[in-house]
Chain A
Amino acid sequence: MRIGGIITVLVLIGLSFAASFFITSEWMENKIEYQASILNEAKVEIDELDFSFFNLHLKWNRLQVANSNNTMENTFETGPTEFSMEFWPLILRNKVIVDNVRLTGFELATERETDGYFEMPVDEYGEEVEPGFISEVVTQVSSEARKNAEVKFTDVRDDLNIDSLMAKVNIQSVDKIDSLRRGIQRNYTKWDSTFNNTSIEKEIETGRKSVESIKVDEIKDPKKAIEAIENVKKLRNQVDSLKTEAKQLKSEFDQDYGSTKDDLEQVDNWIEEDYQRALSVAKLPDLDVRNIGSALFGQNLLGDYASYLEYVAIAREYGSRFVSDEEDEIPRYEGLDYHFSDKYDWPGFWFKNIELSGRTNTDLVLSGTVTNISSSQKKTGEPVVFDLGGLDENEVSLSLNGEINYLGDDPVEKFNVYYSGFTLSEARLSGSDLLPWELKSGKGEVNVKLDIIGKRIDSRIDYLARDISFDFASAGAPKNKIETLIRDAIGSTDEIDVSALVDNVDGPLRVRVRSNVDDLFMNALRQTVSREIENARRKVEAEVQKRVAGKKEELEKFRDEKEAEIRRCYEELQAKVDDQIALVEQKREDLEEKKKELEKALKDKAAEELKKRIGIDF
């Protein structure tokens, strides 16, 4: 044994422990912050990270995860947190497996003191990915929310000035009808010229002369008769071909000129478009239940809904980032690993149980558990399940639970949120001009259910405002008739419930908003406002009709006249062709008759001659 060697080994071991004790925490903090920032595409900062190499225990005092879309805000942050990593997964496979995490001071959407922008290394930019399904739904829902915000019932007025309205509306039907008339005229001129300049008439005349030049009485020889018959047959063929030519012309005319009928049918559509344009300038809304519910609550509810969905989109995006957890292929001469069992088939990371506590931005203390957050659910065989809840001294409660399950072929996300007991005092229920008043009192309740399986979404937000009373007094006297009606309607109820339904279960995405206020409003609005709107509509329609009145009929008359003229031309032509056919046929019959006559005479003469020669009478 070499004493010096033993001492060297012991010194090396001692130095390794010392290095791990002094260096690991700072080194790990930098390493984790850098890698997590790349993953987050914004800064991830850890304060006072402490890593114990001996028991693989990790703890930090504060963790901030900046929001990459708004770097002055954290997506979330945590307070003191600690956990221990399992030894063998870390040593054997470099995998972080944690049984239990104690995470305190969890808060969503907190403000940052410094900018959380992170300069991504060039080689870390992933490929541009197309917006996912959930992002598309967010876009559609947000657009629906915007549309709802644009419905302005207060634009309905009694004193609709039709002249000033029509001055703003570009009535296009008249110009379009004139243009169509010019088109018909051009078409007529073309066909008129075609029928007048056709060679058919000339050819008929030439043929007629040829027929007349055949003098049947002057034919004395049967051979000449046969020759003439052949000539007449040729003439007949020529006339048939002229007839076909005439028919072809008619058919082309029918086809070409007939299409103007379709053009005429468009006139009604043009008038309807002008009418709709006038209505949109007049901003006359459709007063149906759907519009009222949407106008009142759509913007708020669907806006909230879109922001909930964004969290789901984030979850799915992160989920998809971790899906590829497979190890790189081992180069040939580093050998191949034989896996004799699946004992070490761990995911890249796996937090089996997180005991979470924190507070919401309304200071409601929240606690609960999140289980099985991992980089590969297929390896853990466990979905992420979360169940959080809280209650404050005012009996405001929040519960949030759900599941993120990527074990099957289709990703499944299910969320349930129930928030109740919050005060509605001094709150405004809607951003719409129809409900501009604050509430004096009331309690609110929100229930959100969101199920997404692959690209199938089925969700519902129910909002209930109980024991409400509006502060009409501080709003002053009603400004117009609609306001009066609305005050009367909603003053008669102390409860408002609204539901927003977003789903694509039976086809394309549907967004619907329903509320019990719908009927209250409908009844009030139907009595007067709808009548006013109907009057205004009638005025607009009458004005549009007045401006285009007679234009369509005039055009139809013009078209029919022109068509009749062309048809007359064709009929004349057709008559000439038919006369020519008759003439040729007559000539042919005469010639056939003459031929028979001559042949008979010839035969008689021959028989007479024979009788004379042989002296026998047949």
Chain B
Amino acid sequence: MFLIMRYFAKLLKALASEASPSQIAGGIILGMIIGLTPVASLHNLFILILILILKVNLGMAILSFTIFSGIAYLADPLFHSFGIWLLELESMQQTWTDMYNNEWWALTKFYNTVVIGSFATAVLLCIPMFPLTQFGVLQYRKHIHEKMQKWKVIKAIKGTKFYSIYQTVSRVRG
């Protein structure tokens, strides 16, 4: 419970001021790629390394992964159809064959309909998602954050003993 609270508090804090909009947007799109595509894929190992070594917001990446995993569960049939279309594109046949015959590319399993379909979808979604998220963060800070602080729910949470302990621990940890 404490960990979940802490996680949400961090998320809100990041949204409010701590992290830059680009870091938040980066976390969201990288989490989205892992969430939308099959987890046990080679490209996700690279995405994970990127999340760990780039200064993207980790919390947002986890949140994004969770949300987009759920979406992917429903969207898999669409990814499969999209993957079939991509893998059967006449103009791409030589590329796919070359990639298939190269062991390193073969490791990515891009010859699988769901893997290529979901990966291509995720990459395409990154293009609008990154600027949109940045814009969204700025709008949140400007218009929503202050109002949210006045919500009774937020006040009630801040009034609990749990929250005060968390604040104390956070201060001690720096």
Contact = CB atoms under 8 A, between A and B. Distances in A.
B52 A337 contact: no
A8 B55 CA distance: 14
B111 interface: yes
Nearest to A12: B52
A343 B101 contact: yes
A546 B55 CA distance: 117
A616 interface: no
B80 A332 contact: yes
Given A332-B80, A335-B113, A338-B87, A8 B52 contact: yes
B100 to A, nearest CB: 4
B52 A6 contact: yes
A2 B87 contact: no
A587 to B, nearest CB: 106
B117 interface: yes
B112 A333 contact: no
Contact of B52 (A9, A92, A339): A9
Contact of B100 (A335, A336, A340): A340
Given A1-B53, A6-B52, A337 B112 contact: yes
Interface in A62-111: 88, 91-92
Interface string B33-57: 0000010000000000101111100
Contacts of B100: 338-341, 343
Contacts of B103: 88, 92
B33 to A, nearest CB: 17
A2 B54 contact: yes
A93 to B, nearest CB: 9
Contacts of A8: 52
A554 B100 CA distance: 96
A311 interface: no
Interface centre among A8, A336, A344 (most CB of B within 10 A): A336
Contacts of B83: 335-336
Contacts of B107: 91-92
A336 B112 contact: yes
A333 B80 contact: yes
B53 A5 contact: yes
Contacts of B38: 334
B84 interface: yes
Contacts of B76: 333, 335
A331 B79 CA distance: 14
Size band of the interface chain A makes with B: 20 to 34
B84 A336 contact: yes
Nearest to A1: B53
Interface in A315-345: 332-341, 343-344
Contacts of A333: 76-77, 80, 114
A465 B145 CA distance: 104
B148 to A, nearest CB: 29
A338 B96 contact: yes
A5 B58 CA distance: 11
B96 A340 contact: yes
A341 B97 CA distance: 7
Contacts of B117: 335
Contacts of A332: 77, 80
Interface centre among A1, A5, A9, A341 (most CB of B within 10 A): A5
Nearest to A93: B106
Nearest to B104: A88
A2 B106 contact: no
B122 interface: no
Given A1-B54, A5-B54, A6-B52, A340 B114 contact: no
B102 to A, nearest CB: 10
Nearest to B50: A5
A338 B49 contact: no
A8 B89 CA distance: 41
Contacts of A92: 103, 106-107
Contact of A335 (B53, B55, B106, B114): B114
A181 to B, nearest CB: 89
A505 B109 CA distance: 52
Nearest to A6: B53
B47 to A, nearest CB: 12
Contact of B101 (A5, A6, A337, A341): A341
Interface in A343-387: 343-344
Contact of B113 (A1, A338, A344): A338
Contacts of B93: 340
Contacts of B49: 9
B105 to A, nearest CB: 11
A344 B101 CA distance: 9
Contacts of A340: 93, 96-97, 100-101, 111
Contacts of B96: 338, 340
B94 to A, nearest CB: 10
A335 B82 CA distance: 11
A271 B96 CA distance: 86
A6 B103 CA distance: 27
Contacts of B101: 340-341, 343
Given A88-B103, A92-B106, A343-B100, A337 B53 contact: no
Given A92-B107, A334-B114, A2 B97 contact: no
A9 B103 CA distance: 24
B120 interface: no
Contacts of A5: 51-54
Interface in B45-91: 49, 51-55, 76-77, 79-80, 83-84, 87
Contacts of A1: 53-55
Nearest to B109: A337
Nearest to A8: B52
Contacts of B30: none
Interface in B106-150: 106-107, 109, 111-115, 117
Nearest to B52: A5
A334 B117 CA distance: 11
Contacts of A341: 97, 100-101
Nearest to B114: A335
7 contacts: A9-B53, A92-B103, A332-B80, A334-B114, A335-B113, A335-B115, A336-B83
Interface of A: 1-2, 5-6, 8-9, 88, 91-92, 332-341, 343-344
Q: List 8 A-B pairs, minimum CB-CB distance, nearest first.
A: A335-B114, A5-B52, A340-B100, A335-B113, A333-B76, A340-B97, A5-B53, A335-B112
Interface of B: 38, 49, 51-55, 76-77, 79-80, 83-84, 87, 93, 96-97, 100-101, 103, 106-107, 109, 111-115, 117
Given A2-B54, A88-B106, A92-B103, 17 more contacts: A1-B55, A2-B52, A2-B55, A5-B51, A5-B53, A91-B107, A332-B77, A336-B112, A336-B113, A337-B111, A338-B87, A338-B100, A338-B111, A340-B96, A340-B100, A341-B101, A344-B106
